[in-house]
Structure 1
């Protein structure tokens, strides 16, 4: 047959048989398809697939077979059917090729097992078919397939830019061969993503028997990256849906093994590669129904292989692994078992071995062991942890674990957990991503005992601070595995130096500035420390020989007795710090000061943020008993209105030097040497409340004179002091002006009554002429006494409310 004849036949068939071709095709479609088909435009062309005649459908919309649904089974921009032009002249309308472009096919199975692609009617054998299929070519271009199985919670989306297939029919048996590139956008099973954004190449060899509804998968090939999978098996769906699928990995690598893991797990290792023998095979067999799912068995492993990351400097060599995954019903992971046995390898110079058994993915039962020496630097060169910038040192581990992970969440269940073994730490250093201080020179021994961890001589340095721990971490495994589990620490803590400034600043989001602190107590932390710290630094406070106890629970820190040396003397303190309220830190404390340099107190506390009375004005030793309550924010900024304190104080060998108000008093008292007052002992009870310091009357017997002082001093530096001093000569005062401010006391001395009022930066010394001088002083003493008693009772009640019980300190609720 010449080319001219073919061309002529194609053109004539297009124009002369156009209507017959369309009419026969639509008639046959209506006879065989039982769902509506909508087409925007139908045309016939001799050019689209020359020399064949092409029937073109534009804007195709095929409805799914679910009752009362018009949702599309197929949407296509164009769908083309080709015919032999010579055969068309003879009335033979046999479809030879199908071309589908820019289409989406939506396949579904509902929760009752019904499918939406049951669109073909039962075959009518009584009449001759005008349109037949003998497909030598099927092409798919830019076609997306989605599949949703509500019965088994399976969802996938697959895209092909170009796939070609061939179909041969003998009766009702169809032989289908295809080859094409595909892109798996996602495969989800029970809300777990098992594959995502994977490039595939598929070469299939299928035989479908429409009478028995049986699909045979002859040896077919699926390429995933560098790995090749041979696929074969069968699928039938007449009375029941039965599947038997076999997959064998050829030329596989570590990516083959990772491909069986859920996407969120495999993502961390997707760039790793392997050299050596990696094997993989899979068998899926069983019934698919509402109550049943196939069994799945996977075997995989490594034989003398290398594992490495292209960008890493370290690799695991001589790697061996025997693995299996099996489940009798894929919809019930409670029956699944994962085994990794005879795991061996060598990371640079250090060898390791291990085994893992995991049963019941819903409530995991784990049995595992690990033995080997690991170089931290090598480990992080092989696997880059996001939370760790760098590390070095060696840990030598021999550990075993067995039990249900859920048992770690309860005190009774944790007794069933079997954990044993130990880890030796050798000169380990770590630099963390989200914490600015390095952990360095970590040494010691960790010994596992079920859910607890014993620490033996664990020492190291955190920034400028050092530590030595001996004790226990209770519930440590549950704490590491579960988000809301507590951890109990019972230990002796020894340290040569703790830089509290650095540690607090490290917890702050603004840790580039050591004046920014962040104080928090984890709700998961239960702590009991016996401390022995030689030196500590917090701002200007640098105590030494710090000894005592510290307990923490429910975000409350408590100490019964801490002793330390500081500021030339000693301090004994106790109390609690409550950080259980959001962004608030409440402190309730009692402490005793002995032989403390009073000028050092003013230096350490930076003159209490005022310039009226400073450390340079004062000398002497202070002895005091202090009860105090106050509230800070989590940056340790004091809310001044919350400070309440009762202070019983004695100052010995005191001096008041160059204090300006005393210079102003001199002209009233006929004294010329009030710039250097010395007194042997001074006692008073002081109270602080509502941003005000209450100072009851006290007598200051100095080397110059005897003065009685009382009054108030507010936090915004407003002062109201009463001063009573003996008047030895009247020559410096104006008698008329001082009238009413002079009075004899019980000993017959002439006393001058003065007051100092105003602010610390702008104050005046005036005669105090009120007629109730003695009553004012008496009332102030009474008020301070009442405030002191109320404060002590309140502190006692609160201590009883939040006291931590020693006996059940490390018990926590099973819930």
Structure 2
């Protein structure tokens, strides 16, 4: 038994060895035969194929290599074309050819080759670019194959059973109808008896749809597509779907109906149905016009949809497309914001209208209802005309403010809290594709109500906390009627009643302006907070800016207003802002223990500075508080510690400020007609220096009952015309200039008798110092002084120019008196001749008097002019 089993095993091994050797020899022989056949038939087949292709093609073709291959596609033989380029009809080869392919295989039966029957059974295309196009005139670029009646036996012919595509980029662009199909075909095959008039076509493949656009509307972009279809084909004119499975981005659709290939175009009578579509997947598959509204959202839930495509697709016509869909129990989650819309239910429909174009298309959502976190929204929405969309929607919302801010993507507002109620009806259109214009909103119709309660929020890059906002509004087309609107911004509060004009364009368009026409009431406006820009250490930077998107016309009533040290109460007046120019009219308020009435403007049209101007009537203002609250007007020579009294003035002012409220001193121009009553100068350095110069001890506190003058400011200089100061210390006349750098040039006239009187009163009772004047017996001689240097370090000298001017004035006055005396004496019958040396005695007399004065004060004359 063992010997018998061993023999069987040996026989089996021997048989396998013989079979292996025989098989190897057979394969080697077959390979050798096929190689010999390829050598024998190659040139002949190449000639036949090239001749027939050239005979049927109507355009230029370039091929790098043509080779007969009997092994690689065995049992089929193939003619392999490498490096193929096919030009568009009537065009030379270029970078944009009709077809470019790495390899094309034309396959035929090996035994038919031996019989001289060169009939192509299969075509395989690898790594190719196919560009099909219809021009705006409706002319295709792919009609390149000539048709010939009948075929002779043995002639080169096509009897296709299968077409294979591997790595083919396919583009179909219909410029006449604005349609575009852009696909990458990874692997696809089509099989059927393509030569027959009636046959069954099977098509399977995996694609990447880069773009599917119909009438310029993008419906699919960058989505994977799988297809598995079986169609009955009749004369290449009619295609009836027997099986139609289409999967787009993991959503499956069933395709039924038919398509007909007519001379005019493709005639559709096709239905597409999806019963278990994933809402989350479909969000990215919406038409491109709707994608911005769902960007960033993830969806859950099932959507049911049915579409019908019916009609002719040609260069001039589009088929009718209708779609109905339904969502029940859907969810939308915005991960970045945490916004969650649940229990979403709605019915939807799309129809491309009577003209079968985007211009007549409509998209509608009806019976929309969803919860938005702890709130609710419901409504109806219809979009007409996708080229210039028109909206018709009704929306009701009762939701948290923070949720609505996230939903409508208002990125300038954060940390919003409070309750918002909205019941809005809107009808309006876009004159430009995908965007409203201001005129669109003017033509729109909006009605409804809008209110909120206890609203608080923050604005990005603004340190203020906005709180306790309450409001009730009525929509009146393009405007919002303010029934009440109140709130707090920091420590400031406000209450408005009136109108927000142009509110809808302002909310939705970048270049539209909001106009407020209203009455404003406020208990407190703190501009230290409202204008605060930044804080660095102990320094606070303020910034004033006017938005070119904001205008207002307000009747204001403010109980208390502060900015820096300035405080005002009972502020009333009109304020207007238009085109970055602020205008205040008839503004009256109490400040610094007085009453002020003013009108002015701030022109903010330039970005680098503001131009400011005003006219003001100041009545009974405490000048000490004025200097304190105005920061001593940016100088330190005379401050609120030095000056006291009540001021009444008429002021005209103009100047420039930077946006950070720094003054451009060179631009300031002012004319002020002022009167100061019950005034005092205390420890004012120029007066103390004058006291030391004149050796008078009581100039550290100078009081006066009334001081009147017109002060002018220009070119960083303060001009003081001649004025008389009747004070407790001295009576004097003063004129001169004072620069913003505290450089001074004052001219003073002091009665010599006042100085001598004070020198002799050093031991007297203080109350005697304010009334008694000792006559010096010299005709009340005046002392002329000039004060230069700086306010902190004044320099005194005698004013020789002032003396000369005074002498000339006296001589003119005495000459006039003499002429008047002659006229009175002689009755004006003749004009007396003026003495030739009329002025000389007076000059000598003045000289003598000056010399007598010099013997006591040792005055040195300054002959160098002023």
TM-score if structure 2 supplies the norm length? 0.79
- Match of 2:483? 456
**Residue of structure 2 in register with 1:674 after alignment:** 699
Match of 1:118, SS state, is coil
* Correspondence for 1:569 among 594, 600, 617: 594
Residue of structure 1 in register with 2:290 after alignment:
265
Instruction: Select 1:200's aligned residue among 217, 221, 225.
Output: 225
* 2:453 equivalent to 1:426: yes
Displacement of 1:644: 2.0
Using CA pairs below 8 Å that are at least 6 residues apart, which structure has the higher relative contact order? 1
Task: State how 1:694-773 maps to structure 2 within 5 Å.
Answer: 694-728=719-753, 729=755, 748-759=779-790, 764-770=795-801
* 1:496 has 2:526 as partner: no
Q: How much does 1:172 deviate?
A: 4.9
Taking the aligned partners of 1:635 and 1:188, their CA distance within structure 2 comes to 53
The residue number in structure 1 matching 2:687 is 662
1:233 Cα shift? 4.9
Determine if the alignment matches structure 1 residue 645 to structure 2 residue 670: yes
| Mapped partners of 1:381, 1:520: distance in 2 | 28
DSSP-derived class of the 1:663 partner:
helix
Deviation at 1:611?
A: 2.8
1 CA distance for matches of 2:206 and 2:569? Answer: 73
| Contact 1:10/1:53, CA 8 A, preserved across alignment | no
Separation of aligned partners in 2, 1:536 and 1:447: 31
Gaps of 5+ in 2: 1-21, 760-774, 810-866
Per-residue deviation, 1:605? 3.3
Structure 1 residues 413 and 72: alpha-carbon distance in aligned structure 2, compared to 1, 3 A threshold: closer
Aligned to 2:633: 608
Distance 1:138 1:438, change over 3 A: farther
| Equivalent position of 1:336 in the other structure | 361
Tell me which structure has the larger Cα radius of gyration: 2
Is 1:160 equivalent to 2:185 in the alignment?
yes
Residue 473 of structure 1 is matched in structure 2 by 500
Contact kept? 2:682, 2:702, Cα under 8 Å:
yes
Look up the match of 1:130: 156
Distance 2:394 2:539 in 1: 45
Cα deviation, 1:371-401, whole Å, max 9, x if unaligned, reads 2311234446777654443322211222223
**Cα RMSD, aligned residues only:** 3.8
- Tell me the CA shift for residue 476 of structure 1: 2.1
Give the Cα separation in 2 of the matches to 1:675 and 1:409: 71
Alignment partner of 1:477: what SS?
Answer: helix
- Write out per-residue CA displacement over residues 523-564 of structure 1, whole angstroms, 9 at most, x where no aligned residue: x43422122223333233333332222122333322222223
* 1:681-696 alignment runs, 5 A limit: 681-696=706-721
Q: 1:109, CA displacement in angstroms?
A: 1.1
The C-alpha deviation readout for 1:271-320, integer Å capped at 9, x for no partner, is 43444441223233333445433332222221233333456645323322
Match of 1:321 in 2: 346
Partner secondary structure for residue 565 of structure 2: coil
* 1:191-238 residue CA offsets vs partner (Å, 9 max, x unmatched): 6655433333333445666x5555555543332323223334555454
1:205-216 aligned at under 5 Å gives the runs 205=230, 213-214=237-238
Deviation for aligned residue 1:156: 4.5
Shift of 1:462: 2.9
Question: What is the deviation of 1:763?
Answer: 5.1
Deviates more, 1:477-486 or 1:666-675: 477-486
1:156-555 maps to which residues of 2 (within 5 A)?
Answer: 156-172=181-197, 175-188=200-213, 193-205=218-230, 213-214=237-238, 219-244=243-268, 245-255=270-280, 258=283, 261-263=286-288, 265-289=290-314, 291-309=316-334, 313-328=338-353, 332-362=357-387, 364-379=389-404, 385-403=410-428, 414=442, 418-433=445-460, 435-505=462-532, 514-522=540-548, 524-555=549-580
2:654 matched residue in structure 1: 629
2:615 alignment counterpart:
590
Q: What CA distance in whole angstroms lies between the structure 1 residues aligned with 2:578 and 2:421?
A: 33
Deviation track 1:557-608 (CA, whole Å, cap 9, x = no partner) reads 2222222333343332212223345554322211222333333333333333
- Cα displacement (A) at 1:63: 0.7
Report deviation, 1:266.
Answer: 0.9
Q: Give the 3-state SS of the residue equivalent to 2:271 in structure 1.
A: strand
1:79 corresponds to which of 101, 104, 111: 104
Distance 1:460 1:235 in 2: 65
Find the counterpart in structure 1 of residue 141 from structure 2: 116
Q: Distance in 1 between matches of 2:136 and 2:177?
A: 8
Aligned length: 762
CA 1:467–1:771 in 2, change beyond 3 Å: closer, same or farther?
Answer: closer
Residue 294 of structure 1 contacts residue 330 of structure 1 at CA under 8 Å; is this kept in 2?
A: no
Per-residue deviation, 1:171: 2.3
Deviations 1:233-262 (A, max 9, x none): 555454311332433234213356545644
Residue 34 of structure 1: how far off its partner (Å):
1.4
Instruction: Report SS of the residue matched to 1:265.
Output: helix
Distance 1:462 1:385 in 2: 19
**Any conservation in 1 of the 2:320–2:356 contact (CA below 8 Å)?**
no
Tell me the secondary structure at the aligned position of residue 252 of structure 1: strand
Aligned-pair distance for 1:674? 2.0
Residues 1:259 and 1:33: Cα distance change in structure 2 (over 3 Å): farther
The one-character-per-residue Cα deviations of 1:133-163 (angstroms, maximum 9, x if unpaired) are 434450322x322333221233453323444
Structure 1 match to 2:848: none
Partner of 1:31: 55
Q: TM-score, normalised by structure 1?
A: 0.83
**Contact 1:137–1:167 at 8 Å: present in 2 too?**
no
Structure 2 CA distance for partners of 1:62 and 1:319, relative to 1, 3 Å: same
CA separation of 1:188 and 1:619: change in aligned 2, threshold 3 A: farther
Distance change >3 Å, CA 526–CA 105, structure 1 → 2: same
Aligned to 1:15, which of 29, 39, 53?
A: 39
- Which residue number in structure 2 is paired with residue 147 of structure 1? 172
Contact 2:60 2:92 in 1 (8 A): no
Change (3 A) 1:620 1:52: farther
